Structure 1
Amino acid sequence: MGTPQSMNMRLILPGPRWPWFPLLMGAALRLVNINAPIIGVHSWRQADTAALARNFQLNQLPIWLPQVDWGGVSSGYAETDFPLYSYGVGLLYQFFGLHEWLARGLSLLCSIGAIYLVQRLGSNLFGQAAGWWGGLFFAVLPLSVFYGRSVQPEALLMLSSALALERGLAYRQQGGKFNLVLMGLGLVIASLVKVLPLFWLGIPLLWLAWRRWPLWLAGVIALLATVAWYAHAHQLFLETGLSFGFWGSKASRYSWADLLNWRYWGDILLRFSLRGLAVLGLPLLVFGLWLPKQNEAEGMLPLGLVVVLIAGALAPSSSYIHEYYQLPLLLFACPLLGKAWQKLQLKSTKTGKRWLAVALGLMLVISFTVLQLDYWSKENPNKSDIWAQAQQIKITTPKNKPLISVTAGDPTLLYLSERKGWLVTPEAVNDELLGALKKEGASAVVGSWNKIENYSEFKDGPVKQKLAKLLGINKNQTNGNYITILK
């Protein structure tokens, strides 16, 4: 029987004897703001995803016809990623009604599944205790928590990718058709949901068992499925002109000159260190990489870290702006964190274990603080100008007529106000455009004098003055939001 002091230490530092603790901890954190509307961080991406789901349900559309809100009076069918997540949410809406907590709930379930698989992956590589800690880190780190319940396909991406990696390792160790099928299924889903997993997931899987031809066959199937979908999606773009901006001169993903700027890499490292690893996870990751390999298969983890960064560099502008491009790093980092933590525990004295408990507590405090300040606090509708404006639009404009939303590429206002319409930049607004869109049925021009997109400031200057004049608004009244009815 242990001393009271050692028993207290075991309470502070739980372990594999509570196998479900990472899942319960992850679920509890992801339930925060489960009822939040589509506002806050990356609301533009969440609004597009939620709009696809809502349109699937309301218009009874098949999965191959994703429909956005910003198609004006066109069909609205757009070139998008494969909308498996949105379609799944649409099915939930069909059975249970249009409630956004259902979308967040689906993300939560996917994320809990990913925690379980990350825990298994670490256990198969480093032992049960290290796997448990890796699962716990994946459960509580800020990026994993937020995108594990946001209305985006990232949680599904993490689940399918974790399935591919965990079953890929099992296929290497044991063989078996069932392992191969599940690994291939994970790879196909991940590659359809986002293109880049073909690279950052495919390479570690090929490294695991590159001499086995069935693995190559799974990769070919994933490639063909992805090509087939994007060929179809591009045909939708050619018909409607609507796209999420994957290719062509209008795409804003490929400013490769950014890769030569030290600030590009420094900002990504700083952001991932804070939001991805809660600061203290960074030295822990370095220690995990430094430790001698316990088995050859472990090499998939540092390889995965490298290829995720390279994949982000293939679309540097998007990777720099959107932090969820760094989210897959956690799939490869968390098992290494678990390995490092378990090694520290085994080598530490009683005093050292106390310091480990302090470090773990500090890491959790940092994680919860980041979640509160950077994410949760921005999802309060009572403090959201765009939420208030959307409610006003519902009252003052007819539901069956489209709007002109002067929010550039941000569809949040259209989604929240439950309207269709056009997204335009302030620079594009002129008499000709207003007249043409009015003839097509536009009922009002809406927007904000403070922001263009909800994360981009609308600065004072000639553009703002010109827009105020066109809308018949005194330039001294250009504060807050505006809803200008077209007569």
Structure 2
Amino acid sequence: MRGRSWAMYKSSHSKPLLLPFWLSRIFDSMTLTFLDGHTVPRWFWPLLLGLNLLLHLPFFAQPPNSVHVWRQSNTMAVARNLYEEDMNPLRPRVDRRNDSDGVTGMQFPSYEWVVALGYKALGFHEAIPRVVTWLIFAAGVVAFYALVKLLTSSAWLAAVGAWGLSWSPELFYHSINALPDILALSAAIAGLYFFLRWYHSRLPVLFWLSLLLTTLAGMTKLQYLVIGFPIAVLIIRDLWQRRLTWRRDAVPLAVFALVAVGCTLSWYAYAVRLIEQSGLADFGLELRPATSVAVAIKTLTHNVVSDIPELLINYANFGLLLLGLVAIGRGRYYRSSWFGPVLVWALALLAYHLIELRQMAVHQYYMLPYLPVLLLPVVLGAGWLVRRPRWRWLLLLLLVAQPVLAFVRIAPPRWMGGAREVPPELFDAATRAALDNAVPDSALCVVGPDESGCKFFYFLHKKGFGYDESAQLFQPGAGGQPYLATCIQRGARYLYTNDTTLVADPRLRPYVGQVVKRVGDFQVLALRPAASPAVTPSR
């Protein structure tokens, strides 16, 4: 480490940096300590978690914003409804509920319930979901460190894995968003870690921790139950090699499989039934393969060329990933006892990707389950570099580049510069409050045009009937009368809209009374309680 290559690197860079002598010595000491390939210095965790928190800190107070803001809004609406109406997680409620109680099916609202607990303890504030998500994310990073250390027997490789996971741009973005996938990811990683610990030690507390976390991961997001595949391969292999005994191992393994899979499938069957009963399909619980071969090829190409290297693992990690894949072949890692389980894990994720390929075109957070598998070759690539002193400068460059690339890719386009994918009147606190307070929260409203069916409702803190586009208000429904007339008959009292052409439409006049509030392009209009205009029966 103190040889000629490192000395040349240090001398060639010390002058341009113009660091004070004492700071330069500290920097040299830190890099030399970490780049020995063995030591995880005491400053590693404060640096990793502290830097990550510091880069996120300016954005904790933001309301839902930017990419996938509809998903954030729906998640936070369910959490707010748990807080305001009923803390029963078996009856999650949405805002676009028509004249019903809003109960519908979704993934198990574990994350939403934790956020609602935060609201109960501290009052409603939109920073609470962000803080909750970041704490869950941090726990997942620690769990991944423990998992990699268990698999590789190297604390240093585990630290590289934890560092890489922290600076995935997609995870960097969602690690402070109201997204249940972060809870599912962290629970899945921890569940797998505790299972492997139990598998070798047979300590009961590890078994129950693993079962709880694995079941929680699957119920929160079904795709995270995929960690069962490496577990299954491990068990089948050890049965084949007679390392397991039926008398000792059959019962706990059967209980683990039945509870984890049974609870997950039972919840989703119950959720589908709730959707059918309510008719409220805010959360899709179906498979979404590509619509054609051409679309599939286009989506897969974009995933491989752009989504995975740029958004999912970070360009700096992508270089280490390529090195790691080469190292697997040249270093004969395929002979490792973990190669088979990890390979099947990867193949199961590939099958999931193809089954949900339509979602992968725009929903990159559906790929978050891939991170643990993709980062395992990354740590092998880092290990290959650190064993070659003349290339340690490149490893240092790639590690330092990761937080820079993650922040630059996410913060300016998504969090800086105000409202993104949200009307400015709803994003600004003052104008949002004016629209919220225009009518009682208990009044049923017709809200739109909002294709998501949830953004406007969440920001306005209203419930009732939604519409995707203004023309939908005048389209006849099953009873032959316009949709807006049906909404009024079912109890709607106010119309919220930011479509300025709709307000001038003569077809709207018979249904509306006075303008209650104007804020920017938004208008709140009282709906006439009288019967809708007569509809000429079709002949």
TM-score tier, shorter chain, comes to 0.7 to 0.9
Change (3 A) 1:404 1:25: same
1:89, 1:274 → 2: CA distance?
Answer: 30
SS at match of 1:221: helix
What pairs up with 1:68-83 in 2 under 5 angstroms? 68-83=94-109
CA contact (8 A) 2:218 2:260 kept: yes
Deviations 1:161-199 (A, max 9, x none): 11122123323444433333222222101110012223x
TM-score (normalizing by structure 2)? 0.78
How much does 1:296 deviate? Answer: 1.3
Instruction: State the secondary structure of the residue aligned to 2:338.
Output: helix
1:62-102 Cα distance to aligned partner (Å, 9 max, x none): 11110111102211001111111111111111111111212
Q: Describe the SS at the equivalent of 1:53.
A: helix
Q: Does the CA contact (< 8 Å) of 1:169 and 1:297 recur in 2? A: no
The match for 2:456 among 386, 408, 413 is 413
Tell me which of 335, 343, 352 is aligned to 1:311: 352
Greater mean alpha carbon deviation, residues 321-330 or residues 26-35: 26-35
Question: For 2:264 and 2:307, how far apart are their aligned partners in 1?
Answer: 30
Match of 1:133 among 160, 165, 168: 160
The residue type paired with residue 425 of structure 1 is D
CA spacing shift, 1:469–1:282, aligned 2, 3 Å: farther
2:232 maps to 1:197: no
Aligned partner of 1:288 in structure 2 is 324
Of the candidates 80, 86, 90, which is equivalent to residue 54 of structure 1? 80
SS at match of 2:323: helix
SS of the equivalent of 1:328 reads: helix
Tell me the SS of whatever aligns to 1:326. helix
User: Against the structure 1 CA distance between its residues 436 and 161, is the aligned structure 2 distance closer, same or farther, given a 3 Å change threshold?
Assistant: same
Judging changes above 3 Å, is the alpha-carbon distance between structure 1 residues 373 and 471 closer, same or farther for their aligned structure 2 residues?
A: farther
2:59 alignment partner, one of 28, 33, 54: 33
Deviation at 1:14, TM superposition (A): 6.2
Distance 1:356 1:470, change over 3 A: farther
In structure 1, which of residues 175, 179, 188 is the aligned counterpart of residue 215 of structure 2?
A: 188
| Matched position secondary structure for 1:397 | coil
Which of 91, 98, 111 is residue 137 of structure 2 equivalent to?
111
1:394/1:417 contact within 8 Å kept:
yes
Match of 2:258? Answer: 220
- What SS does the corresponding residue of 1:35 show, helix, strand or coil? coil
Counterpart amino acid of 1:241? G
Structure 2 CA distance for partners of 1:398 and 1:181, relative to 1, 3 Å? closer
The equivalent of 1:402 in structure 2 is 444
CA distance in 1, matches of 2:375, 2:346: 11
How far apart in 2 are the matches of 1:219 and 1:145?
A: 32
**Any unmatched runs of 5+ in structure 2?**
12-24, 35-39, 240-248, 476-481, 510-519, 529-539
Structure 2 residue matching 1:316: 3-state secondary structure: coil
Code of the residue aligned with 2:326 in structure 1: it is W
What is aligned with 2:393? 354
2:453–2:468 contact (8 Å) kept in structure 1:
no
SS in 1 for 2:495: strand
Note if 1:144 corresponds to 2:171: yes
- C-alpha change, 1:141 and 1:227, in structure 2 (3 Å) is closer
Aligned match of 1:428 in 472, 476, 500? 472
- Report the alpha carbon displacement of residue 134 of structure 1 after superposing the two structures with TM: 0.5
Offset, 1:467: 9.5
AA paired with 1:326? Answer: M
2:496 counterpart SS class: strand
1:237-276 → structure 2 map (5 Å cutoff)? 237-246=275-284, 253-257=288-292, 261-269=296-304, 270-276=306-312
Q: Output aligned runs, 1:347-386, within 5 Å.
A: 347-349=388-390, 352-377=391-416, 384-386=424-426
The answer on whether the counterparts of 1:67 and 1:75 sit within 8 Å (CA) in structure 2 is yes
Q: Call closer, same or farther: CA 1:259–1:11 in 2, change over 3 Å.
A: farther
Count of residues paired in the alignment: 461
1:232 paired residue number: 270
- Deviation string for 1:213-256 (max 9, x for gaps)? 43343122112112222232233223321134435xxx683445
**CA drift at 1:148:** 1.6
In the alignment, which residue of structure 2 is the partner of 1:476? none
1:303, distance to aligned residue in structure 2 (A): 3.5
- Structure 1 stretches lacking a partner, 5+ long: 451-463, 473-479
Q: Deviations over 1:3-42 (max 9, x none)?
A: 9849655534763113424333333344341111122221
Farther-moved stretch of structure 1 (226-235 vs 94-103): 226-235
Using the TM superposition, give the Cα deviation of residue 52 of structure 1 relative to its aligned residue in structure 2, in angstroms. 1.1
Determine helix, strand or coil for the equivalent of 2:451: coil
Quick check: 287-296 or 71-80, which moved more?
A: 287-296
For residues 163 and 85 of structure 1, the distance between their equivalents in structure 2, rounded to whole angstroms, comes to: 16
Give the Cα–Cα distance (whole angstroms) in 2 for the partners of residues 301 and 373 of structure 1.
36
Change (3 A) 1:357 1:307: same
Moved more, 290-299 or 67-76: 290-299
Tell me if structure 1 keeps the 8 A contact 2:457–2:463: yes
1:160 aligns with: 187
Name 1:89's counterpart in structure 2. Answer: 115
Please state how far the C-alpha of 1:448 moved relative to its aligned partner.
4.5
8 Å CA contact 1:259–1:313 kept in 2: the answer is no
For the structure 1 residues 54 and 13, does the alpha-carbon distance in structure 2 shift closer, same or farther, using more than 3 Å as the test?
farther
The whole-number CA distance in structure 1 between the counterparts of 2:141 and 2:223 is 21
Are residues 439 and 51 of structure 1, via their aligned partners in 2, closer, same or farther at CA, if it must alter by over 3 Å?
same
Larger radius of gyration, structure 1 or 2? 2
Q: TM-score, normalised by structure 1?
A: 0.85
Partner of 1:458: none
Return the alpha-carbon distance in structure 1 between the equivalents of residues 384 and 192 of structure 2.
Answer: 23
- Match of 1:453? none
In structure 2, the residue matched to 1:17 is 41
RMSD, matched Cα: 3.0
SS of the equivalent of 2:452 reads coil
